[in-house]
Structure 1
Amino acid sequence: MRQQARIVDVAALAGVSAGTASKALNNTGQLSPATRERVRRAAEQLGFTPDTRGRALSSGRTYTVALLTTDSSGRFSIPIMRGVEDVLSAGELATILCDTRDDPLREQHYLRSLVARRVDGIVVTGRRTEPRGPIDVPLPVVYALAASTDPDDASVIVDDAGGAASVVTHLRGLGRERIAHVTGPANHRSATERAHAVIEAAGSAFLGEPLYGEWSERWGRQSVDQLLRSAPDAITCGSDQLARGVCDRLRELGKSVPVDIAVTGYDNWSVMAEASRPPLTTVDLQLEELGRRTATLLLDAIAGDPHHGVLELPTHLIPRESTLGMS
């Protein structure tokens, strides 16, 4: 059997000391990017696998991080986790996904288990943007998507208001002057925040009041007949599901999107936005970047340099045929 490569073998192939090779692979020390890359290539060539058990014993760490979520469907937590792992995998940390299913007892069970396992830190996220109470654990914690109610905690959230305003700016730039809005439940922070931002950005171009309902294609379809009473030339929606339903109903009524009425979504959920007829102009929450920034803050906290307060990240408008038409 082929003998397993050792750190000294990697160092010899890369032309550096064993200490330098270790620092390069652990992403520590003051090394040049070229040196780190040379060591990494040598490790790949030799099939070197770090002794994480030995490293954990010597450092007092487990090199594991937990992602605690209430998002059972994974719609928001999976992209965030991908971003988290982009950062953590470079330091060879493993991620444990824990789905609480919005059950406080299940959450407490997971927290006890994670503390017992001595994970290095925890990312707390979910499917809603309402600020949530902090968790009480003796570990570094960073909150993603929904901020902690404790201002001393580190939280990374999305600028929902800015995203909604960018939709209106886009529509006004296309000459749309009569803008209506349909969104989700009035008790959801994301629905009200996006609606208020659309109203403020549209000013006199906004028609009537926003229509609140459920996050579904069905509600999108149902809302159209009421929205058409004010003769809009654009309908902004609080989610891509709503927008897809709006487009379906407009097509049933013989209305052309976007010639007669432009339609916009929100979230850039590819299952909805790209499959809609026509594909939706929408707002990308950039959840993977949110995950990367969250993981960076968590690594800093694990290293003894915790951040405090809320970091708000920008969204990105993605124009498609539902406002631009066919090129």
Structure 2
Amino acid sequence: MRPPAVRMVDVAALAGVSAGTASKALNNTGQLSQETRDRVRQAAERLGFTPDSRGRALSSGRTYTVALLTTDSTGRFSIPIMRGVEDVLSAGELATVLCDTRDDPLRELTYLRSMVARGVDGFVVTGRRTEPRRPIDVPIPVVYALAASSNPSDASVIVDDAGGAAAAITHLLGLGRQRIAHITGPPNHRSATARAEAVVSTAGDTLCLEPLYGEWSERWGRQATDVVLRQRPDAISCGSDQIARGVCDRLRELGHSVPEDIAVTGYDNWSVMALASRPPLTTVDPCLEDLGRRAATLLLKAIAGKRHRGVLELPARLITRESTLGPAW
């Protein structure tokens, strides 16, 4: 026979408090001393007490569940953000539900209705683009991550794309590079234009031609390399790691050494590309897990009634590797 389940009253008796006080201590509510909370938690751990999530939800009016709504079907951006979100939410014993809308407005509406009906405590909304998106219409707290809400009063957390791109150019200038080219993605993508504008501003007279816009692909990186080589650059800054890997491949095919002849930088710190490139890429890390952690923190505060308003911009981080520093660094 299974031993009887440990009850809240058992924890309370061992801790020397009332059942109501024990419940408050374990749910982190009420005005209790830290000593009382610690004593109750130690008693619960000693007895192997497992809280009844259904009772917890009924007593608090919450489900302790958050929905992460995304348009990023591949998970390239949403998965790192979700890891950051879960780092914060799991500490508060909240669960995260991933909802992939696949850029389908009807599917998004279905998910919104379903999650609200299930009583989720809030939403983190993200995707694969950085363009501001229309806000979702739900009666619970929402935080937007990576792509800001088009409503400036909503809580949004984004990456400082311009600052990241400028850091890569500053790095190249610090290495003494004097003729810099920039290859990036589609001109209708905010991330491409923001990074390119920062490159132009930071590189100044060392920019040897206007930024080249194209695709987020290795193929485009190879094609664009043939164009920029006519200007004899000693450095090529790229708007993504995919482009940078294509650049490195083409330079190697043409007999140019990276970084001895031409230094190359990427953007995203996508390990599949950055570490597999020959040589490994110096790149800008948008710190997506940090983005997710900050979004989740803002959401928890909003759930507690302390709503953040406006856009919070987080810094990106330059990661230096052999594509600019060489094998001896």
Give the TM-score range, shorter chain: over 0.9
Which amino acid in 2 is paired with 1:266?
Y
- Give yes or no for the alignment of 1:87 onto 2:98: no
Cα distance, 1:2 vs structure 2: 3.6
Q: 5+ unaligned residues in a row in structure 1: which ranges? A: none
Deviation digits for residues 89-134 of structure 1, max 9, x if unmatched?
A: 1111111110000011111111111111121111110000000111
2:119 corresponds in structure 1 to 118
1:221 corresponds in structure 2 to 222
Structure 1 range deviating more: 31-40 or 244-253: 31-40
1:260 corresponds in structure 2 to 261
Deviation digits for residues 175-234 of structure 1, max 9, x if unmatched?
A: 111110000000000000001101101111111111111111111111111010111111
Off by >3 Å, runs of 4+ in structure 1: 2-48
1:72 corresponds in structure 2 to 73
Q: Aligned partners of 1:140, 1:285: CA distance in 2, in Å?
A: 25
Cα distance, 1:7 vs structure 2: 4.1
Structure 1 range deviating more: 82-91 or 14-23: 14-23
Which amino acid in 2 is paired with 1:204?
D
| 1:179 to 1:28, Cα distance in 2 relative to 1, 3 A | farther
Deviation digits for residues 150-191 of structure 1, max 9, x if unmatched?
A: 111100000000000000111111111111000000000000
| 1:247 to 1:51, Cα distance in 2 relative to 1, 3 A | same
Whether the 8 Å CA contact 1:160–1:315 is kept in 2: the answer is: yes
Matches within 5 A, 1:39-78: 43=44, 46-78=47-79
Cα distance, 1:5 vs structure 2: 3.5
Number of residues paired by the alignment?
327
Cα distance, 1:4 vs structure 2: 3.3
- Give yes or no for the alignment of 1:241 onto 2:273: no
1:295 corresponds in structure 2 to 296
Which amino acid in 1 is paired with 2:190?
R
Which amino acid in 1 is paired with 2:203?
A
The 3-state SS of whatever aligns with 1:149 is coil
| 1:50 to 1:247, Cα distance in 2 relative to 1, 3 A | same
Whether the 8 Å CA contact 1:27–1:91 is kept in 2: the answer is: no
Whether the 8 Å CA contact 1:247–1:257 is kept in 2: the answer is: yes
Matches within 5 A, 1:84-163: 84-163=85-164
Structure 1 range deviating more: 43-52 or 109-118: 43-52
Which amino acid in 1 is paired with 2:106?
L
Whether the 8 Å CA contact 1:26–1:91 is kept in 2: the answer is: no
2:171 corresponds in structure 1 to 170
C-alpha RMSD of the superposition: 2.1
The 3-state SS of whatever aligns with 2:124 is strand
- Give yes or no for the alignment of 1:323 onto 2:324: yes
Whether the 8 Å CA contact 1:281–1:321 is kept in 2: the answer is: yes
Q: Aligned partners of 2:326, 2:37: CA distance in 1, in Å?
A: 48
Q: Aligned partners of 1:87, 1:253: CA distance in 2, in Å?
A: 48
Q: Aligned partners of 2:255, 2:108: CA distance in 1, in Å?
A: 49
Q: Scaled by the length of structure 2, what TM-score is found?
A: 0.93
Q: Aligned partners of 2:45, 2:273: CA distance in 1, in Å?
A: 39
Deviation digits for residues 241-281 of structure 1, max 9, x if unmatched?
A: 11111111111111111111110010111111111111111
Which amino acid in 1 is paired with 2:304?
A
| 1:57 to 1:263, Cα distance in 2 relative to 1, 3 A | same
Cα distance, 1:305 vs structure 2: 1.3
